[in-house]
Amino acid sequence: MTEAVIGLLGDSGKQLAQRFLATLALPGVLFVAVTSVAVALGQRHSLDVDRLLSATDRVIGRFDGRPVPALLGAVAAALTACAIATVCSSLGSVVQRLWVADRPRWLIGGLADRRRRRWDTADKAFAAAEVGADRTVREQRRELADLAAARNAIALVRPARATWIGDRLGSVSARVWAEYGVDLSFGWPRLWLVLPDPVRSDIRQAARDLEASTTLAAWGILYLALGLLWWPAALAGLATIARSWTRSRTAAATLADLVEGAFDIHLSTLLSSIHGSEITATPTFADGERLNLRLRKGA
């Protein structure tokens, strides 16, 4: 689902420049500054403020009255920050792919199997309670709702990936297929063409939030690596990765809800546009299969 959806959500050049400045360039400057502190203090003097002040005074004194070298040093620092930010952006894309990956089996199979066993146990508990339950009794409805919530907290469909984020995004394709019979990889690009601008804007923002959160994880990894020189950086890296994970879960859930909701609400519009006649009834599985035949064009 991720590649099919996010591939359509690119930003304009102006928006890219604004995002680069906010989410990459400025954090890159901060990382260069922290790296300078790490080099100056090292592990043995990691919290020595006097040593840091002395090192700062030496650097300032080196450029005192020499504006050209100072300017060149500032430019070099800025270019270094941008280079690190570019690396971090690429690393963020790798992080996102890892979170949604369903292979290689040898790498993610154990984690996926563990999540699948937990989901199967929760699903069996729900199914057992559902048998013979009287849905007119409020207490029994509440019990079923609690059991369903416990199962859905693991995944909305049977897990196939190592992470909650991967299964949440992957569930959209499975749920849209189960409900409407639509192949997401073919249906989504066409549905995007008929979505209202406000819906597109909300989906784009959710995708940007997911990208920003995975980029945050990449910064956390860089700070963890910097911890080899200066241990406080490792603490900052761990905190950053933890924050990234919670933000990524929220962003992934929002993006998945919006894309699935777009099919729920606007699929009839797509069907009407494709077949040339207005469809007023709720789309059926047969409608989805007919749409697939049209969109695949024999593929």
pLDDT in tens, 250-279: 999 999 999 999 999 999 999 998 877 666
Sign of CA dihedral 26, 32, 36, 38: positive
- Rounded to 5 degrees, what angle do the CA atoms 236, 238, 242 make? 115
Residue 88 CA to residue 97 CA, distance in Å, equals 14
Residue 51 CA to residue 41 CA, distance in Å, equals 7
All structural domains of the chain with their residue ranges: 2-101+162-296, 103-160
pLDDT of residue 206: 95
pLDDT of residue 104: 76
pLDDT of residue 4: 60
Which positions of the chain have pLDDT values less than 50?
12-13
pLDDT of residue 237: 97
pLDDT of residue 188: 95
Residue 257 CA to residue 169 CA, distance in Å, equals 9
- Region of residue 276 (phi > 0: left; psi between -120 and 50: alpha; otherwise: beta): left
pTM of the model: 0.86
pLDDT of residue 12: 45
Residue 7 contacts residue 204 (beta carbons within 8 Å): no
**What is the separation, in whole angstroms, between the first and last Cα of the chain?**
19
Helix (H) or strand (E) holding 44: none
Q: Which of 69, 68, 81 is nearest to 33 (CA)?
A: 81
CA distances from 221 to 30, 90, 94, 218, 224 (A): 15, 12, 12, 5, 5
pLDDT of residue 238: 97
Residue 271 contacts residue 229 (beta carbons within 8 Å): no
CB atoms within 10 A of CB 12: 8
pLDDT of residue 20: 60
